[in-house]
Chains A and B, each alone.
Chain A
Amino acid sequence: METPGNLLYTKEHEWVDIQGLKARIGITHYAQEQLGSITFVELPAAGKKVKQFGPLCSVESVKAATDVYSPVSGTVSAANKVLDASPEKVNASPYGDGWIAEIDMGDPAEKANLMDAAAYAKYVEGLGH
């Protein structure tokens, strides 16, 4: 599924799954498709403080490198260590096994700044290919 309905999205093509004050984040199907085969994920360190839309970490593909921005403010509580040896999981399962980090949220009201699935799908359509 290209744009799961239960997630929220950013203009920089990150998704976030918010349960209470815990947020799990990754990059969208569109992002991994644009990047191509991902070769390296620089995971964020636990304890790192992030701001909404501020830099979280970075991802390299065969042809490019890109920054991943955090959809929410807070503190990184976990990173998906599996991606150290198998970054291609981000391509194969961007919303599942390819999740990147978990964040303890500082401000739940920030949800209002994110797009829902319908808005994100429309946004991506407008970008063309």
Chain B
Amino acid sequence: METGNIKKTPLNAVHREFGGRMVEFAGWEMPVQYEAILSEHHHTRKAVSVFDTCHMGEFMFRGDPGKAGLERLVTVPCGNMKPGRCRYGFALNEAGGVIDDLVVYRISGDEWMVVVNAGDIEGDFGHFRGGLASGTDFTNRSEALGKIDLQGPLAPSIIKRLPGAEGAAGLGYYSFGTFDLLGERVIISRTGYTGEAGFEFYIGAGKVERLWRRLLGFSEVRPAGLGARDTLRMEMGYPLYGSDLDRNTTPVEAGLDRFIPFNKDFLGRESLLSQKRDGTKKSLVGLAADSRRSPRHGNGIWLDGREVGKVTSGGFAPSLEKGIALGYVEPAAAKSPGPLIIRGEKAEIEARVAPLPFYKCGSARG
């Protein structure tokens, strides 16, 4: 591992102080766990945890999204959102392949924030810049901003006790506001990646450590790492870019086209409409194992003696005590009422197609 090039979030030293076990993820040094992945997972579902998500990217746009070309670069209807709302969507290539999945926030009449994954912030920024009219006010604020996710059924009660942020407790799902916290203007959205009630905080990088410590000052709040973040999102069937989504998968294949308003123009629209009309060669499905064995990325998925697909995300679902997987299979196999066989490294794992989310008791929308 080239430690010289690895990026660190502003919370790096704090993670070590709290006993975080550091690993490399998408070019960043991040805590995979503090105490244990399973206990951090369960604590998030029962109480409340904080996650360092500073490594994600944030781009700021000011202007007219239609005229400047932003509207065409994302599936999210930027001009047709109210300020204070955010929406999940995609940046696609011509073939409908996913360049990144993202959330667009409308901050005001002429200001939007685009939040992207940590994997290729520079590449994403270049894609947007290349598609926008020259002179467009579009900046990469990823390094200037820190981000923390507060997730769990107790998250609303914590935010009510955070001076300056109390109003965020009244936010609806996928709404956000700007609050005065720790002497800064902080965006807080009612969003997350765990299926539990919670918030994402966007705060100046210079203040993110203070916010982290402030949140951990509440006895109910514990730190959670990327290991638990992954088990939590997988139980919800949420895709992970780089595993379940990439430039060779489309939102139609991934079963995510319900997030796309096809009545607006965007790059990749025609390709997606062709797929909706003619069908796809592969479909993303959820598979639930009948045992505790974990399917892993790359395992083959077999039906009636043939390989019909591959696992893209696999692992153990702590809240279900079973193995689960997401994977692309031939569309006919996705409808199989009978079991499919996942060929693990050590053994065959019998699994059935399961409707998503695997875990149905999340508090996010409550």
A63–B345 touching, CB < 8 Å: no
By a CB distance below 8 angstroms, the chain A residues around B227 are 36, 62-63
Q: Pick the contact of B293 from A40, A62, A63, A91 — CB < 8 Å?
A: A40
**B-facing residues in A53-109 (Cβ within 8 Å):** 58, 60, 62-63, 65, 87-88, 91
Alpha-carbon distance between A88 and B315 when the two chains are bound, in angstroms:
16
Q: Which 8 A-B pairs have CB atoms at the shortest separation, nearest pair first?
A: A37-B38, A39-B316, A40-B292, A62-B37, A37-B37, A37-B36, A60-B294, A40-B293
- Distance in Å: Cβ of A128 to nearest Cβ of chain B: 14
A42–B347 touching, CB < 8 Å: yes
A63–B37 touching, CB < 8 Å: yes
**A-facing residues in B10-36 (Cβ within 8 Å):** 32-33, 36
Known contacts A36-B37, A39-B316, A40-B294; decide if A65 and B345 are in contact (CB<8 Å).
yes
Alpha-carbon distance between A62 and B234 when the two chains are bound, in angstroms:
12
Most chain B CB atoms below 10 A, which of A36, A58, A88: A36
0/1 per residue, A22-52, Cβ < 8 Å to B? 0000000000000011011010000000000
By a CB distance below 8 angstroms, the chain A residues around B296 are 65
Smallest CB gap from B228: residue in A: A62
Most chain A CB atoms below 10 A, which of B33, B292, B346: B292
A62–B231 touching, CB < 8 Å: yes
Q: Pick the contact of A65 from B231, B292, B346 — CB < 8 Å?
A: B346
Alpha-carbon distance between A4 and B83 when the two chains are bound, in angstroms:
62
Other A-B contacts than A37-B39, A39-B292, A62-B231, 6 sampled, CB-CB below 8 A, are: A37-B38, A37-B318, A39-B294, A42-B346, A60-B316, A62-B38
- Distance in Å: Cβ of B37 to nearest Cβ of chain A: 5
Q: What range describes how many residues of A lie at the interface?
A: 10 to 19
- Distance in Å: Cβ of A96 to nearest Cβ of chain B: 18
B33–A36 touching, CB < 8 Å: yes
Number of interface residues of B (CB under 8 A): 20
**Total number of A-B contacts with CB less than 8 angstroms?**
45
Alpha-carbon distance between A88 and B346 when the two chains are bound, in angstroms:
20
B292–A36 touching, CB < 8 Å: no
Smallest CB gap from B291: residue in A: A40
Smallest CB gap from A37: residue in B: B38
A36–B36 touching, CB < 8 Å: yes
By a CB distance below 8 angstroms, the chain A residues around B291 are 40
A62–B315 touching, CB < 8 Å: yes
Alpha-carbon distance between A60 and B316 when the two chains are bound, in angstroms:
9
Alpha-carbon distance between A39 and B41 when the two chains are bound, in angstroms:
13
Smallest CB gap from B40: residue in A: A37
- Distance in Å: Cβ of A69 to nearest Cβ of chain B: 15
Smallest CB gap from A92: residue in B: B36
Q: Pick the contact of A62 from B316, B346, B347 — CB < 8 Å?
A: B316
0/1 per residue, B312-354, Cβ < 8 Å to A? 0001101000010000000000000000000001110000000
By a CB distance below 8 angstroms, the chain B residues around A62 are 37-38, 227, 231, 294, 315-316, 318
By a CB distance below 8 angstroms, the chain B residues around A36 are 33, 36-37, 227
- Distance in Å: Cβ of A34 to nearest Cβ of chain B: 10
Alpha-carbon distance between A62 and B237 when the two chains are bound, in angstroms:
17
Q: Pick the contact of A63 from B32, B39, B292, B346 — CB < 8 Å?
A: B32
